[in-house]
Chain A
Amino acid sequence: MTADTTSAGATVPVLSVQGLTVSVRSGGSERALVEGLSFDLARGETLAIAGESGSGKSLTSLAVMGLLPPPSLRASAGRIMFGGQDLLHLPEGAMRRIRGRRIAMIFQEPMTSLNPVMTVGAQLTEAISAHESLPRGEARARALAALQSVRIAQAERRLSQYPHELSGGMRQRVMIAMALALKPDVLICDEPTTALDVTVQREVLDLLRDLQRETGTALILITHDMGVVAEMASRVIVMREGRMVEEGPAQRIFAAPVAQYTRDLLAAVPRMGDGSGAAVLPVAESVVRLTDLRVRFDIRGGLMQRVTHRVHAVEHVSLQINQGETFALVGESGCGKSTIARAIVGLVPHEGRIEVAGQPLQDLTAEGRRALCRDVQMVFQDPMAALDPRMRAGDLVAEPLVIHNIGSDAERRGRTAGLFERVGLPPDAMARYPHEFSGGQRQRICIARALALRPKLIICDESVSALDVSVQARVLALLEELKRDLGIAYLFISHDMAVVENIADRVGVMYLGQIVETGSRAQVFGNPLHPYTRRLMEAVPIPDPGYVRAPLPRLSGEIPSPVWPAGEAPQRLRLVDMGGGHLVAQSNPTAEIAA
């Protein structure tokens, strides 16, 4: 059906949204969250709807599916034309026959979108037989075929497994298999790769592109990530606060954005380069030095609660952070980068040696540890969770001063006010509670609190990952400014290669608890030598539609587990200096992922 209409279908849109308005009703009045949105979707094309949080992009997809949660949300105006019918006025029964069969959807969180108590096979067959009455055996065969089409290894075995037994990437493949099993005309992907690691994201994006080419399904891709937009979309809609800001072919949007907002958005997107342009730092004394750091967690089991397995979270890590520099640790989830941060502030027991400002941590008394707390501070990923919800912002920032008996009441008040000004918050913010701030402002409060004790090192654990790109850019600029003015060093922990390249002086790449490559920004990004570093960098979506990716074999590898039976341990990597302090792991248990 779809294959023979490709030439003619270009003129007749498969889906046409006209003047769509979605409103929320609260307290008697209605407010529009999406207003007057219009677009056409041509057969077989990929349309990206891009925007930051609150732009209304996800509501648009739910409106098309007729799944806006009643009674507060509803499509109050406009038309959604599909197959000659207005979906907004279709009775529920008819709409149901379209959902899943002709318009399918996949969601951001594959774990919470799959039913945890049903096997993958049962859910797939259910999705198929909801629309086609097939004998049980045939439905199961179709389910298996669908799983195979998304290139899941051992598809047969997966049918009898439960969602929690699969990795995140596999779960999203199952969602895609379910969505495409009935060969729909339109597939809506709502942030399909946001919850996934960057290498898994690469695999899922490749898969989506291949499947679209094979089936001719039109794709609506909803995302905040301009890199993903550039890689996937032929046409782009940029949304902001419920309104379309700009629409056009991807090439044009990226090359010559018209709207000011689009320009700002694209300017805020961190870009990867070759690591050049880094300022050469003068040699300074070290703030933190890790020598052969190891962190392992015991897993107990069985009758006697003996240690049966160990999580080797951090294995033989040595690194040094100098005064006034930003050292970035990058790696995918579970690689141990956050555990290192917690070990430095003494929150997890460790083996090996940690020196802070020349003082070995294990020699310190309780008093010494308290003093150490002044030197090392942390800023977390989720600022809402890091701030006690029952305290005012001013008290939160002043509390460290109170604890460490610094200054009189008046001095503290003055210093707190100074800190608020320093991080760009208005003075009246001191009297407000955390929930009254936006995400970016809350992170500023966290930074102000971290600065209160005038630390030598601030550990930023994914501190900008939860923020919108434009907010992220401003927080990064603040961090940069503080470093320049106050000479603070950062340990910057992130999964985002592009952000790291924009902020780091030196970089360490972590994989399964070990550092596989480390060196200056120019060394690691300009001349990545370890295969895992390369794979990470190649996986990052590039915000440039003209970028031609070197053809790579399609991968569906899984990151191995850092859990080992008691008594066994992963092979220790040997780092070799490739010149100028650029260390690269040689002995290589990760050979299979590079293959």
Chain B
Amino acid sequence: MTRPAHPPLRPRLSLGLRFARRPMLATGLCILGAFVLMAVFAPVVAPYDPILQNGDITLLPPSLAHPFGTDNFGRDLLSRVIWGARIDLQIAVIGVVFPFLIGTVAGTVAGFFGGWVDASLMRLIDVVLAFPFLVLMLSIITILGPGLGSFYIAMALVGWVSYARLIRAQILVLKTQDFAVAAQSLGFSRLRIMFRHLLPNALAGSLVFVMSDAVLVLLNGASISYLGLGVQPPLAEWGVMVFEGQGFLNQAWWITLFPGLAIVVLAFGFSLTGDALADLLGVKE
């Protein structure tokens, strides 16, 4: 008997095998990995400076020297898209983490304890949900003033709601399942049941949701920057770049096309990973 009394919680996966059998997961993770590498090594990978203007080479169409073309200030769009990965990945990650943490704690507590804690939390959620997502975020940014910091605060104030609802609903279902009842009848403490038995089972669903939420956060961040209320020019952010291309739709389509495509591909990576995780963890949406 060399086995430890408490082996690790998760089943040991033969990782390589599972990976090969799941092309969706592999593709999704490869896309995400590529963007992370691009962001980390932007100074090395990008052929030109993303911000420096050059009046001689404005509005050049895609060519070998400038594969994505140049914009009206003569900046290389490929370099700007690569540097943009830094900001947009940061938006997707930070914009998800805080809502996730706040929502998970709130949802678990509400679902487990019920009563007035649950009732008041649900009323608050009802009110937040009564506002269109983007409109409430814009209102908060109105108070705080434009900028990326305001965006993160607004995201945390509005985004936790979906996690809280999701976790709460899961906890409510799990609470009545036989294994939770069995744990209660075995005399386990409430904290142990809540965090050791219920939360790990509820988290599977929200991990999948994290991926689709990352897409929404990314789109939101880019949209708000597009409207001029998030990341400010001349920083290279994909939403800002699409806005900058807006004035040249009839003469320089490439300014708009490539940053948008970057968003689409990154979002696709998140969605694929989310779908594959849902498959893997047996989560129904």
On whether the beta carbons of A400 and B186 are closer than 8 Å, the reply is: yes
On whether the beta carbons of A378 and B182 are closer than 8 Å, the reply is: yes
Per-residue B-contact encoding for A383-405, CB less than 8 Å = 1, 0 else:
00111111110010011100110
CB of B56 closer than 8 Å to a CB of A? no
Give Cα A345–Cα B10 distance, bound, in whole angstroms: 31
On whether the beta carbons of B3 and A403 are closer than 8 Å, the reply is: no
CB of A431 closer than 8 Å to a CB of B? yes
Nearest residue in B to A433 (C-beta to C-beta)? B11
Give Cα A391–Cα B7 distance, bound, in whole angstroms: 9
Interface residues on B, range: 20 to 34
CB of B132 closer than 8 Å to a CB of A? no
Nearest residue in B to A459 (C-beta to C-beta)? B185
Give Cα A374–Cα B185 distance, bound, in whole angstroms: 9
CB of B120 closer than 8 Å to a CB of A? no
Chain A residues whose C-beta falls within 8 Å of the C-beta of B182 in the assembled complex = 378, 380, 386-387, 446, 449
Chain B residues whose C-beta falls within 8 Å of the C-beta of A390 in the assembled complex = 9-10, 200-201
B180 to chain A, nearest CB (A): 9
B31 to chain A, nearest CB (A): 28
CB of A370 closer than 8 Å to a CB of B? yes
- B75-90, CB < 8 A from A: none
On whether the beta carbons of B187 and A374 are closer than 8 Å, the reply is: yes
Give Cα A342–Cα B186 distance, bound, in whole angstroms: 12
Give Cα A391–Cα B8 distance, bound, in whole angstroms: 9
CB of B179 closer than 8 Å to a CB of A? yes
A378 to chain B, nearest CB (A): 5
CB of A412 closer than 8 Å to a CB of B? yes
Nearest residue in B to A383 (C-beta to C-beta)? B178
CB of A240 closer than 8 Å to a CB of B? no
Chain A residues whose C-beta falls within 8 Å of the C-beta of B188 in the assembled complex = 399, 403
On whether the beta carbons of A377 and B9 are closer than 8 Å, the reply is: no
Per-residue B-contact encoding for A355-373, CB less than 8 Å = 1, 0 else:
0000000000000011011
B232 to chain A, nearest CB (A): 46
Chain B residues whose C-beta falls within 8 Å of the C-beta of A376 in the assembled complex = 185
Residues of chain A at interface, number, CB under 8 A: 38
Contact A345/B185 with A387-B179, A388-B179 known, Cβ cut-off 8 Å: yes
Contact A413/B10 with A377-B185, A386-B178, A388-B197 known, Cβ cut-off 8 Å: no
CB of B6 closer than 8 Å to a CB of A? yes
Chain B residues whose C-beta falls within 8 Å of the C-beta of A372 in the assembled complex = 187
Of A385, A387, A398, A453, which contacts B5 at CB under 8 A? A398
CB of A347 closer than 8 Å to a CB of B? yes
CB of A86 closer than 8 Å to a CB of B? no
Chain B residues whose C-beta falls within 8 Å of the C-beta of A430 in the assembled complex = 3
Nearest residue in B to A342 (C-beta to C-beta)? B181
Nearest residue in A to B1 (C-beta to C-beta)? A413
Of B9, B187, B201, which contacts A370 at CB under 8 A? B187
Chain A residues whose C-beta falls within 8 Å of the C-beta of B201 in the assembled complex = 388-390
Chain A residues whose C-beta falls within 8 Å of the C-beta of B185 in the assembled complex = 345-347, 373, 376-378
- B225-279, CB < 8 A from A: none
Give Cα A494–Cα B93 distance, bound, in whole angstroms: 53
On whether the beta carbons of A403 and B187 are closer than 8 Å, the reply is: yes
Nearest residue in B to A412 (C-beta to C-beta)? B5
- B1-56, CB < 8 A from A: 1, 3, 5-7, 9-11
26 example contacts (A-B, Cβ-Cβ < 8 A) are as follows A342-B181, A345-B185, A346-B185, A347-B184, A372-B187, A378-B182, A378-B185, A380-B178, A380-B181, A382-B178, A385-B177, A387-B179, A388-B179, A388-B201, A390-B200, A390-B201, A391-B9, A395-B6, A399-B186, A400-B187, A403-B189, A409-B5, A413-B1, A431-B3, A446-B182, A449-B186
Residues of A within 8 A of B (CB): 342, 345-347, 369-370, 372-374, 376-378, 380-382, 385-392, 395, 398-400, 403-404, 409, 412-413, 430-431, 433, 446, 449, 453
